[in-house]
Amino acid sequence: MNTSTPSIKKWAPLIAGAVVLAMVASSPLYAPSYTVILLTSILMYTILAVSWSIFSGPTGYISLATAAFFGIGIYTSAILGKSMPLPAVILSGAAISFIVALIVGAVTLRLRGIYFTIFTFGLVELVKQVLLWYEVNITGTRGRFVIVIDNTTIFYYIVIIFVVLLVTAYFIRRSKYGLALKSIGESEEAASHIGVNVTVLKIFIFAVTAIFIGAAGAIMATRWTYIDPYIAFNYNFSFTAALMAIFGGMGRLYGPIIGAVIFAYLEETLITQFPFYYMLMFGLIMVICILFLPDGLVGLITQWRRLFPGRKNANP
């Protein structure tokens, strides 16, 4: 019996992913500057979407706090960027986001359903308004200038965060914690009865995802010369990350990646071609996809395979 075919099929997605990642990582060597900038934006959205899906996907808790953690990373970079090297700034943004997420998670993750979603949505506005009040009334300014870094350096740091995130997401999904998160999504009471420390697990995984969001914010801040609370804590980061993950499908790790790549490129195209109407068109496309693709592209691929199964090798 030939066992090589199943082995090849098992490793084919990993090999293909590694090849694509290698091509993307080496793009500054042969691609024009615009392509590198576009790839950086796509990777940023991919980090936000995958981070969101790690917690919200299996548990069913719809978090809109992405913009809060992303903005914390941005402001960390603006404040510390003049006195610390970029790697230390990135780690600081990740650490502060983790700590804030622990505090927020301890307060909010006892809530369920729409109450949790509303609270996380309000968190973005709360942090934004507190920073705005502090800058206007204490420092006497509004906004800060950011140390600008070249696009190639930003790109490579984003690639590093993306790779670390993928490894983390892979091991969480395949670990007992991933199974526990799924059990929470199916029945929180049942998960508690079988010995899962529901509250601690939710808080910890929620905070872990904030690490990557904060790190991405600290990196991306260096692309902008000037930031203020309205730029840093933009609601679009929360909604876009969630919608990209839902569009791609959260049943597989590659689902949010596909969704983020497609819609990040689509957003860039619409902004360029239709600068005054792109948000309307983007919203319409998202509504249509949600209505007709409830399980995302991953669900569509699964249905396609069921309708058109590949012929099995009959040879012994």
**Can you read off the two tokens belonging to residue 205?**
């995984």
- Report the SS3 class of residue 110: coil
**Architecture, CATH, for domain 32-307:** Orthogonal Bundle (1.10)
Residues 260 and 244: beta-carbon distance below 8 Å = yes
Which pTM was predicted? 0.89
- C-alpha pair distances (Å), 96 with each of 12, 116, 287: 38, 21, 34
The whole-number pLDDT of residue 289 equals 72
> pLDDT tier at 111 (50, 70, 90 boundaries)?
confident
pLDDT at 12: 66
Cα angle 133-138-141, degrees, rounded to a multiple of 5: 80
Is the pLDDT at 244 greater than 60? The verdict is yes
Q: 197-232: per-residue pLDDT in tens?
A: 888 899 999 999 999 999 999 999 998 888 888 889
What does pLDDT average to over the chain? 84
Q: pLDDT band at residue 52, thresholds of 50, 70 and 90?
A: very high
Length of the chain: 316
Host H or E run for residue 227: strand 226-227
32-41, 66-75, 126-135, 289-298: lowest mean pLDDT where?
Answer: 289-298
Phi, psi of 226 (to 5 degrees): -140, 140
Instruction: At 296, give phi and psi (nearest 5°).
Output: 75, -175
Nearby residues of 91 by Cβ (< 8 Å), 6 or more positions away: 215
Residue 145 bridge partners (DSSP) = 226
The answer on pLDDT for 23 being more than 80 is: yes
* Predicted confidence (pLDDT) per residue in 267-316, tens digit: 888 787 777 777 777 777 777 777 777 677 777 777 776 766 654 444 44
**Residue 82 DSSP label:** T
Give the range among 2-16, 111-125, 129-143, 284-298 with minimum mean pLDDT: 2-16
From 211, 181, 212, 217, select the one nearest 196 (Cα to Cα): 181
Q: Tell me the average pLDDT across 33-48.
A: 91
Could you give the CA distance from residue 185 to residue 108 in angstroms, rounded to a whole number? 16
Lookup result for tokens 């590659």: 254
Domain assignments of the chain as residue spans, ordered by start: 32-307
Query: How far is it, in rounded angstroms, from Cα 131 to Cα 198?
Result: 33
Q: Got the DSSP string for 254-306?
A: HHHHHHHHHHHHHHHHHHHH-TTTHHHHHHHHHHHHHHH-TTHHHHHHHHHHH
- The answer for residues whose C-beta is within 8 angstroms of residue 219's C-beta and 6 or more apart is 44, 73, 77, 86, 90, 154, 157, 158, 161
The pLDDT of residue 1: 47
Given CA atoms 214, 215, 217, 222 in this order, what sign does their dihedral have? Answer: positive
